[in-house]
């Protein structure tokens, strides 16, 4: 009988819980919507980070390197860089081979540890990096030998080895902290640990970016009055007044010229290597370097790098979580060797895309320097001198450019100068400030005429001048 006193039909359908099939469809539908929303947000963030002040559709003319460099320099610089690139590729092969073997057999070493799951995972991570360092030592020494042979490096083999070993300590610190965060989150969030890990790693990267100047050794304030005066005027011109300039002493290690922009906010700095101030570059060329680095800070490239890091870490950490499931996930120490291999492979596969972003930012900094200095002759002379003093190939082959170039080629940078001249020639002249002509803060000696391209110098500095 029913509650109303009516008889119950035994054949009537009784409402029950939703079918497993229907519930599963709802779950997968919500998951698909979440992923689509996440992908849309990712693409929007990438679009915003990609914004640039370089005019849309700017076409760079195709220039002939032989019009700017001698045949002997083109041959020698190409040979110099090809050796280092092949050495780097072989080093990468060794890296992958060591990590592949370690991913397969490394978990056996955890039997010797009594440090607990997270402590054991950190030990396995540090051991993996130590094995990688040992495998790459021969290739590092080969690079030092090649640079010494070309009178680029002053560094001895023992000193190079010791410095490389000391640098390994910072890698140990980083990998230990990264594994501590990932494994602790995996124990709490299981397979979704990567969602929380990516913003935490980004926060650490932001802190590292802010403190980066204080971690650079052997720096001192810039004392040259003329260069200081130029830096102050250019900083105001580019909208970053008060930016300090420091000099890093590297001349006892290398002849390479270089500069970099680091930090943000009150900690932002422009750092010039002392090899840039040794007389090989005149005042107007150094002004262009200063304007380039201040351009990085003005357009927030150091912070944008953190944004790009977040966009990289989200899918990368998700893939690490996926490929470590067979070992119990990142909560288990036996998954650490696999995680190292997967992460390094993802980094290598993403490197060409990261290089595109880096070249995009460097092009914007070059454009910003041209707008701030209005001195295309000095910029053209600077890029040519950078190539000569760094022994850089002005026009490398496409495979080398795609795989390893974080900066536009020297010929592309010279072409941008020419494109800037053509672009500004179409603009009306500001008669009050004569913006088509250089306007230095004080009398500046004229740019010296290009010297014959026969010098020897380092490959480190030519395409450098980058934010860190």
Quick check: 364 and 429 in contact, CB under 8 A?
no
Residue-level pLDDT at 12: 52
Residue-level pLDDT at 262: 96
Residue-level pLDDT at 293: 98
Round to whole Å and give the CA distance between 243 and 84.
Answer: 35
Helix, strand or coil for residue 273? strand
Up-side HSE of residue 144: CA atoms within 13 Å toward CB? 17
Quick check: 87 and 317 in contact, CB under 8 A?
no
Overall average pLDDT of the 421-442 stretch = 58
Up-side HSE of residue 158: CA atoms within 13 Å toward CB? 0
For residue 199, name the pLDDT band (cuts at 50, 70, 90).
confident
Q: Which of 18-22, 105-109, 145-149, 257-261 has the lowest mean pLDDT?
A: 18-22
For residue 253, name the pLDDT band (cuts at 50, 70, 90).
confident
List strands edge to edge, sheet with 269-273: 219-221, 244-248, 269-273, 259-262, 466-467
Q: Residue 272 pLDDT > 90, yes or no?
A: yes
Neighbour count for residue 193 (Cβ, 10 Å): 24
Residue-level pLDDT at 382: 97
For residue 108, name the pLDDT band (cuts at 50, 70, 90).
confident
Which DSSP category does 67 fall into? G
Quick check: 292 and 465 in contact, CB under 8 A?
yes
Residue-level pLDDT at 267: 94
Overall average pLDDT of the 103-131 stretch = 83
The phi and psi torsions of 449 (rounded to 5 degrees) equal -65, 150
H or E element in which residue 129 lies: helix 116-149
Q: Residue 446 pLDDT > 60, yes or no?
A: no
- pLDDT per residue as tens digits for the range 60-97: 999 999 999 999 999 999 999 999 999 999 999 999 99
Quick check: 438 and 235 in contact, CB under 8 A?
no
Quick check: 459 and 406 in contact, CB under 8 A?
no
Residue-level pLDDT at 252: 86
Measured in whole angstroms, how far is the alpha carbon of residue 145 from the centre of its chain?
A: 26
Q: What is the pTM of this model?
A: 0.84
Q: Which of 31-40, 363-372, 418-427 has the lowest mean pLDDT?
A: 31-40
Residue-level pLDDT at 422: 93
Burial class (CB in 10 A: 0-12, 13-18, 19+), 214: exposed
Nearest-5° Cα angle at 223, 220 to 225: 155
Q: Residue 452 pLDDT > 90, yes or no?
A: no
Which DSSP category does 12 fall into? S
- pLDDT per residue as tens digits for the range 349-378: 999 999 999 999 999 999 999 999 999 999
Overall average pLDDT of the 11-23 stretch = 55
Ordered DSSP codes for 201-258: HHHHHHHHHHHGGGGSSSEEE---HHHHHHHHHHHHHTT-TT-EEEEE--TTTB----
- Express as a percent the part of the chain with pLDDT over 70: 85
> What's the mean per-residue pLDDT of the chain?
85
Residue-level pLDDT at 19: 55
Residue-level pLDDT at 191: 87
Ordered DSSP codes for 368-380: HHHHHH--HHHHH
Residue-level pLDDT at 40: 93
- Express as a percent the part of the chain with pLDDT over 90: 63
More confident residue, 379 or 452: 379
Query: Shortest CA distance to 49 belongs to which of 467, 282, 268, 361?
Result: 361
Round to whole Å and give the CA distance between 385 and 285.
Answer: 9
The phi and psi torsions of 259 (rounded to 5 degrees) equal -160, 160
Round to whole Å and give the CA distance between 14 and 300.
Answer: 64
Q: Residue 24 pLDDT > 50, yes or no?
A: yes
Residue-level pLDDT at 222: 95
Q: Which of 53-57, 104-108, 329-333, 359-363 has the lowest mean pLDDT?
A: 104-108
The β-bridge relationship of strands 466-467 and 269-273 is unpaired
Residue-level pLDDT at 23: 64
Query: Shortest CA distance to 161 belongs to which of 177, 182, 142, 184?
Result: 142
Burial code (b: 16+ CB inside 10 Å, e: under 16) for 266-302 equals eebbbbbbebbbeebbbbbbbbbbbbbbbbbbbbbbb
Overall average pLDDT of the 174-190 stretch = 90
Q: Which of 20-29, 61-70, 158-167, 185-194 has the lowest mean pLDDT?
A: 20-29
Cα distances from 107 to residues 169, 190, 237, 327, 329, in angstroms, run 23, 20, 57, 9, 13
For residue 468, name the pLDDT band (cuts at 50, 70, 90).
very low
Neighbour count for residue 430 (Cβ, 10 Å): 9
Q: Residue 291 pLDDT > 90, yes or no?
A: yes
């Amino acid at each position: 009988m029913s509650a109303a006193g009516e008889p119950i039909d035994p054949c009537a359908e009784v409402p029950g819980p939703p079918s497993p099939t229907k519930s599963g469809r709802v779950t997968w539908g919500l998951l698909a919507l979440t992923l689509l929303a996440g992908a849309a947000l990712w693409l929007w963030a990438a679009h915003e980070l990609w914004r640039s002040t370089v005019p849309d559709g700017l076409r760079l003319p195709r220039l002939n390197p032989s019009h700017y460099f001698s045949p002997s320099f083109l041959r020698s610089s190409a040979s110099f860089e090809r050796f280092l690139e092949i050495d780097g590729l072989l080093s990468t092969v060794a890296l992958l081979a060591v990590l592949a073997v370690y991913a397969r057999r490394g978990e056996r070493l955890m039997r010797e540890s009594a440090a607990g799951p997270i402590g054991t995972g950190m030990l396995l991570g540090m051991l993996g990096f130590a094995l990688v360092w040992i495998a790459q030592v021969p290739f590092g020494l080969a690079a030092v030998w090649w640079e010494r042979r070309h009178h680029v490096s002053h560094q001895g083999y023992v000193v190079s080895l010791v410095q490389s070993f000391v640098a390994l300590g910072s890698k140990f610190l980083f990998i230990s902290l990264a594994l501590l965060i990932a494994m602790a989150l995996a124990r709490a969030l299981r397979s979704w640990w990567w969602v929380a890990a990516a913003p935490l790693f980004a926060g650490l990267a932001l802190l590292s970016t802010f403190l980066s100047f204080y971690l650079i050794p052997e720096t001192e304030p810039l004392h040259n009055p003329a260069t200081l005066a130029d830096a102050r005027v250019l900083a105001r011109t580019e909208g970053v007044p008060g930016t300090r300039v420091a000099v890093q002493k590297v001349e006892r290690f290398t002849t390479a010229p270089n500069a970099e922009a680091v930090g943000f906010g009150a900690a932002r700095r422009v750092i010039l290597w002392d090899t840039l101030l040794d007389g090989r570059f005149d005042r107007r060329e150094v002004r262009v370097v200063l304007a380039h680095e201040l351009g990085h800070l003005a357009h927030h490239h150091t912070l944008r790098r953190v944004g790009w890091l977040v966009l990289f870490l989200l899918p990368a950490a998700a893939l690490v979580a996926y490929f470590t499931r067979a070992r119990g996930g990142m909560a288990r120490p036996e998954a650490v060797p696999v995680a190292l291999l997967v992460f390094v492979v993802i980094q290598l596969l993403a490197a060409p895309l990261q290089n595109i972003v880096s070249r995009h930012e460097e092009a914007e900094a070059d454009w910003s320097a041209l707008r701030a200095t209005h001195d295309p002759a000095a910029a053209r002379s600077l890029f040519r001198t950078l190539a000569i003093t760094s022994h850089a190939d002005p026009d490398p082959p496409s495979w080398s450019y795609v795989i390893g170039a974080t900066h536009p080629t020297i010929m592309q940078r010279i072409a941008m100068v020419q494109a800037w001249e053509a672009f500004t020639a179409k603009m009306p002249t500001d008669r009050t400030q004569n913006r088509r002509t250089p306007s230095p803060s004080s009398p500046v000696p004229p740019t010296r005429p290009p010297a014959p391209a026969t010098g020897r110098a380092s490959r480190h500095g030519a395409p450098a001048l980058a934010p860190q």
